């Protein structure tokens, strides 16, 4: 049966989830959720929440889903230790370095790959398993057929989010908050949802082209179970407890009883808990403008609806823990009562000596009747075994007292400290000094930017979109003659259905003599290796700490790119166990989305025409076609550091990358020469990016 994973951002929400049928509740400690609107627990609250769930037979998962810098890595590990000691059943993780550290620190603790790992294919699931994860949550953009294919081929169980708010960007690949809006990063759960705001696509500032309807797969839970998905998850830790109660109840009933919501319940789900509507478009493959439609006009539900929901979890106890009772009564001996729950917890109570009446006394039927009365407790009596000799009498009140004492004793046993196998925190990895002069790396996004004039600037490496290289039309000879290494920049996202296309693309590249690939997703590693190509790491790998860098070095990456959310000081603190580069110029990508934003708005695709969207503050975000008719949205401002080279010199870098997106061929040359100290060109609308203020745990 599908496991139902429900969210909780408060103790009341924990109660709402447990009392409405959640199998597992997930929550976060405040270290990992410090942004506006995020709800999380301090340690005392989390300890109480975990005990509450344990007593009631509900499993728990603690989210440690941020990216962690060298400064905060030890805090994250200590928080994971705390959760393990308090009895959490699993940890939700996405930071590669933290995963590697926790596999050593807590070798027996199950680690679940968060949706922000961006697993979209079998290779991604296999990579997650090789990292030591015991479950992985798939990207919400997958169709039912793709979910089935990944689940069938995955070496570990898969989970799917079935309800709740969903971001227009691929999880783990959204940086709009970090780069464009007050440096509030989704990477440390500080997202203020700027994508929900108004943007113009050329008309009036009255559109919300990035604000998506909530995910709703209530009609598909049976199919998910049929195709082998292990866990159905509800999103929404920041939402009110009544939302948790209602959605958990509906999905629990759909899973366990195959009963779908009534029309009245569907209306309540929409009108009470969704401001943007509900959609199953990703799952069915019917994507498009309908996934962004606002909720239809409707009367809001009355306040008594919320009152009734609260009564459902504050005034009742869902009897979900099976318990059996045992009774022994003999003449001249104290009565003995015992109980054992489904988890093996046992308790024994010694009672009064029964009276020998010499005639009919208490019956086994009466004892069973009293012991079965477990209402108001988390326990459900499933059997009573009696050994009662005849003609003995025993008062009902004493039997009831024994029952209460036994159940309290068993509940207390589940509150006892948990023994955890722990190892020391692995030491910070050692780095090495970069050798020689800083490498100059140029990345282009358009074929027209590949010119002899750019080749004349003498870059050491040239990153070119794989599709452009495979087409074979670009004139790369001037670069090759100057000794420039040509590297294929791979798509940021590749779904299971696109796997064969990627493998064909890699084969074509290898045939053209391209031997290296730039990858920003760990799921691409197997395909690149099978093609016999070497790897370089892109921004999408979210390298924020020395442990991640070391892991990727062991995985065979020739070089890696530091996260654009780090400060230059934090980049300097990284132990460079692999050659490390930094994007020192260009519009950094702020999101990758499966949607064609322009087509959704205008009704037609214009992939070959440069397009953009603007926000209410005058920022203009270029939108470019991505592999598979996706879109990449780039920052409204260009990161420019050439006038302050002290920001990137002396921090142990191997290379500097210039990222060209909307620049003309001439501007590409001028910018490159500026970084070589050969011009004084200054681009308009420039910024320092996040390299001075940072966006991770500042």
Q: What is the pLDDT of residues 347-401, one digit of tens each?
A: 999 999 998 876 678 999 999 999 999 999 999 999 999 999 988 999 999 999 9
Task: Say what the pLDDT of residue 34 is.
Answer: 43
**pLDDT-based confidence at 37, cuts 50/70/90?**
very low
Tell me which of 596 and 694 has the higher pLDDT: 596
User: Token pair of 583, please?
Assistant: 């994007």
**Helix/strand/coil percent split, the chain, to 5:** 35, 25, 40
Q: How many CA atoms lie within 13 A of 654 on its CB side?
A: 21
Q: Is the distance from CB of 2 to CB of 224 less than 8 angstroms? A: yes
d(CA 197, CA 206) in angstroms, rounded, equals 9
**pLDDT-based confidence at 35, cuts 50/70/90?**
very low
Task: Say what the pLDDT of residue 572 is.
Answer: 95
Q: CB 367: neighbour CB atoms within 10 A?
A: 23
**pLDDT-based confidence at 601, cuts 50/70/90?**
low
Task: Say what the pLDDT of residue 607 is.
Answer: 62
Task: Say what the pLDDT of residue 36 is.
Answer: 39
Task: Say what the pLDDT of residue 551 is.
Answer: 97
**Average pLDDT of the segment spanning 527-546:** 96
Q: Topology of domain 3-166+215-261, per CATH?
A: TIM Barrel (3.20.20)
Q: Strand 379-388: give its sheet, edge to edge.
A: 346-350, 336-341, 321-329, 379-388
On the question of pLDDT at 282 being above 80, the answer is yes
Tell me which of 171 and 516 has the higher pLDDT: 516
**pLDDT-based confidence at 688, cuts 50/70/90?**
confident
What is the rounded average pLDDT for all residues in the chain? 91
d(CA 160, CA 689) in angstroms, rounded, equals 34
On the question of pLDDT at 193 being above 70, the answer is yes
CATH class of 439-587+638-687: alpha beta
What are the strands, taking DSSP E only, across 18-71? 24-28, 59-64
Question: For residue 313, what are the CA distances in angstroms to 242, 249, 590?
Answer: 9, 11, 41
Question: For residue 405, what are the CA distances in angstroms to 302, 349, 382, 400, 414?
Answer: 42, 7, 18, 9, 15
d(CA 331, CA 392) in angstroms, rounded, equals 7
Picking from 366, 386, 274, 277, the residue whose alpha carbon sits closest to that of residue 324 is: 386
On the question of pLDDT at 31 being above 70, the answer is no
What is the pairing mode between strands 485-489 and 461-465? Answer: parallel
Task: Say what the pLDDT of residue 302 is.
Answer: 74
What is the pairing mode between strands 557-561 and 579-586? Answer: parallel
Q: CB 693: neighbour CB atoms within 10 A?
A: 12
Task: Say what the pLDDT of residue 299 is.
Answer: 55
**Average pLDDT of the segment spanning 79-93:** 96
On the question of pLDDT at 17 being above 50, the answer is yes
**Average pLDDT of the segment spanning 683-697:** 82
Picking from 564, 545, 628, the residue whose alpha carbon sits closest to that of residue 592 is: 628
User: Token pair of 23, please?
Assistant: 């199998």
Indicate the range of 219-223, 416-420, 499-503, 633-637 predicted with least confidence. 416-420
Q: Which residues of the chain does CATH 3.20.20.70 include?
A: 3-166+215-261, 439-587+638-687
Task: Say what the pLDDT of residue 301 is.
Answer: 74
**pLDDT-based confidence at 205, cuts 50/70/90?**
low
Indicate the range of 28-32, 366-370, 464-468, 575-579 predicted with least confidence. 28-32
């Amino acid at each position: 049966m599908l496991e139902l994973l429900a969210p909780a951002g408060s103790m009341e929400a924990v109660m709402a989830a447990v009392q409405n049928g959640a199998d597992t509740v997930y929550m976060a400690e405040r270290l990992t959720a410090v942004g506006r609107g995020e709800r999380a627990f301090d340690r005392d609250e989390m300890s109480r929440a975990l005990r509450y769930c344990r007593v009631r037979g509900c499993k728990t998962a603690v989210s440690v889903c941020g990216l962690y810098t060298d400064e905060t890595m030890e805090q994250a590990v200590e928080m994971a230790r705390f959760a393990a000691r308090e009895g959490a059943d699993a940890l939700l993780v996405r930071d590669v370095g933290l995963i590697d550290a926790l596999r050593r620190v807590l070798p027996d603790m199950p680690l679940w790959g968060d949706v922000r790992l961006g697993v979209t294919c079998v290779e991604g699931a296999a990579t997650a398993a090789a990292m030591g994860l015991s479950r992985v949550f798939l990207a919400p953009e997958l169709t039912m057929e793709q979910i089935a294919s990944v689940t069938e081929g995955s070496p570990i169980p898969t989970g799917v989010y079935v309800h709740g708010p969903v971001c227009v960007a691929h999880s783990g690949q959204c940086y709009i908050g970090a780069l464009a809006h007050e440096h509030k990063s989704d990477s440390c759960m500080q997202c203020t949802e700027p994508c929900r705001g108004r943007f113009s696509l050329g008309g009036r500032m009255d559109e919300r082209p990035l604000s998506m309807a909530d995910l709703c797969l209530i009609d598909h839970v049976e199919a998910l179970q049929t195709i082998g998905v292990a866990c159905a998850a509800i999103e929404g830790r920041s939402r009110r407890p009544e939302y948790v109660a209602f959605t958990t109840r509906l999905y629990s009933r759909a899973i366990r009883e195959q009963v779908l919501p009534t029309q009245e319940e569907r209306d309540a789900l929409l009108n009470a808990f969704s401001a943007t509507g509900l959609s199953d478009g990703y799952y069915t493959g019917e994507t498009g403008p309908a996934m962004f439609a606002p909720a239809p006009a409707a009367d809001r539900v009355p306040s008594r609806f919320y009152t009734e929901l609260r009564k459902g979890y504050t005034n009742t106890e869902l009897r979900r823990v099976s318990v059996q009772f045992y009774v022994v009564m003999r003449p001249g001996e104290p009565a003995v009562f015992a109980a054992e729950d489904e988890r093996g917890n046992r308790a024994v109570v010694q009672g009064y000596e029964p009276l020998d009446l010499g005639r009919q006394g208490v019956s086994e039927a009466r004892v069973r009747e009293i012991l079965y009365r477990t209402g108001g407790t988390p326990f459900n009596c499933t059997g009573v075994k009696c050994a009662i000799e005849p003609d003995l009498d025993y008062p009902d009140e004493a039997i009831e007292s024994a029952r209460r004492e036994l159940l309290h004793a068993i509940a207390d046993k589940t509150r006892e400290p948990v023994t955890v196998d722990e190892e020391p925190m692995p030491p910070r990895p050692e780095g090495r000094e970069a050798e020689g002069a800083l490498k100059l790396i140029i990345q282009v996004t358009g074929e027209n930017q590949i010119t002899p004039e750019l080749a004349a600037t003498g870059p050491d490496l040239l990153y070119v979109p794989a599709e452009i290289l495979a087409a074979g039309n670009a004139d790369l000879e001037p670069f090759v003659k100057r000794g420039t290494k040509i590297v294929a920049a791979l798509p940021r996202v590749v779904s299971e259905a696109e796997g064969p296309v990627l493998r064909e693309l890699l084969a074509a590249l290898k045939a053209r003599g391209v031997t290296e690939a730039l990858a920003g997703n760990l799921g691409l590693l197997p395909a690149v290796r099978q093609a016999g190509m070497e790897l370089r790491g892109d921004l999408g790998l979210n390298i924020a700490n020395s442990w991640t860098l070391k892991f990727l070095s062991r995985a065979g990456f020739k070089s890696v790119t530091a996260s654009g959310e780090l400060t230059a000081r934090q980049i300097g603190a990284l132990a460079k166990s692999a050659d490390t580069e930094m994007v020192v110029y260009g519009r950094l990508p702020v999101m990758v989305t499966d949607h064609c934003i322009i087509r959704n708005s205008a009704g037609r695709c214009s992939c070959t025409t440069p397009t953009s969207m603007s926000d209410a503050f005058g920022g203009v975000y270029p939108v470019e076609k991505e592999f598979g008719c996706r879109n990449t949205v780039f920052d409204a401002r260009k990161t420019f550091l050439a006038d302050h080279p002290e920001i990137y010199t002396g921090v142990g870098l191997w290379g500097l990358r210039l990222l060209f997106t909307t620049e003309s061929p001439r501007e590409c040359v001028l910018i490159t020469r500026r970084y070589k100290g050969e011009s004084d060109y200054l681009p308009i609308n420039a910024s320092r990016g996040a390299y001075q203020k940072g966006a991770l745990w500042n």
